[in-house]
Amino acid sequence: MATAGTNLSSFDKASLPDSSGMRFGLVVSEWNTEITGNLYQGAFQTLTDNGTPAAQITKIEVPGTFELVYGAKKLCEQNAFDAIIAIGCVIQGETRHFDFVCQGVTQGIQYLNVKYDTPVIFCVLTDKNIEQSRARSGGKHGNKGVECAVAAIKMGALKKKVILR
C-alpha cells in the first residue's frame, strides 16, 4: 500500500509559505460523512494553524463525491480563491459504480486544474473498505485532509508568484 509507513499528517510547518492572506474553498461531500467530516477538520485545522483566518475559508457541501467537480467549478468561476480542496470518499462495493465515480471525479478535477487559474486539490479517498478510510482520515496513517491543506497552501503560493524569465 502506498500509505504504509507514511503519516499523512506529517509536514514541516517552517517550510510552508505564509497563508495569512490567502483564501481557500473547501468542497465537501455529504456521502460517507464520518470520513469526509474528519478530512474537512484536518484540512481546516491545518489551514488555520498555518495562519489562514477562519473567515477566509469557505466551505460548501455537495451530496456525493461525483458532485465535487461541480462544486469546485462554481468556486473556480468566482476567481476569489487561492486554492480549492475537493474532499470526498468512495468505498469499493460489489458493483462497478466505484470505478465510474473514481474515474469521473479524477478526470473532472484534472480538467478544472487545466481550465481555471485556481488549483483544485484532490482530497478524495478511494479505499477498499471503511477501515482503510478511517486509517487515512485521522487514524493510524494520519489525515489526508492535512496533507491536502499543505498542498493547497503551496499551490496557492505558486499561484501568487510572478515567474520572470
**pLDDT tens per residue across span 116-153:** 999 999 999 999 999 999 999 999 999 999 999 999 99
Q: How far is CA 40 from CA 59, 96, 159, 163, in A?
A: 9, 27, 22, 32
Q: Which of 33, 34, 49, 97 is catalytic?
A: 97
- What secondary structure does DSSP assign to 26-66, as a single string? EEEESTTHHHHHHHHHHHHHHHHHTT--GGGEEEEEESSST
Higher-pLDDT residue of 85, 7 = 85
Q: What is the pLDDT of residue 12?
A: 83
Share of the chain above pLDDT 70, in %: 95
Q: Could you read off the pLDDT of 20-31 as tens digits, one per residue?
A: 999 999 999 999
pLDDT at 52 over 80: yes
- Give the orientation angle of helix 97-115 with respect to helix 68-78, to 10 degrees: 10
Tell me 100's DSSP state. Answer: H
Q: What is the pLDDT of residue 164?
A: 44
- Distance from first CA to last CA of the chain, Å, rounded? 41
Q: Are 36 and 94 in contact (CB under 8 A)?
A: no
Tell me 14's DSSP state. Answer: G
Map out the domains of the chain as residue ranges. Answer: 33-159
pLDDT band for 165, please (50, 70, 90 cuts). very low
pLDDT at 3 over 70: no
pLDDT at 1 over 80: no
Nearest Cα residue to 63 out of 94, 99, 101, 95 = 101
pLDDT band for 110, please (50, 70, 90 cuts). very high
pTM of the model: 0.93
Extended strands (E) in the chain: 24-29, 57-62, 83-91, 120-127, 137-139, 142-143
Q: What is the pLDDT of residue 9?
A: 81
Name the one residue in this structure whose C-alpha cell is 487561492.
82
User: Has 97 been annotated as catalytic?
Assistant: yes
The residues pairing with 120 across neighbouring beta strands, listed in sequence order, are 84
Identify the CATH number of the domain defined by range 33-159: 3.40.50.960
Tell me 116's DSSP state. Answer: S
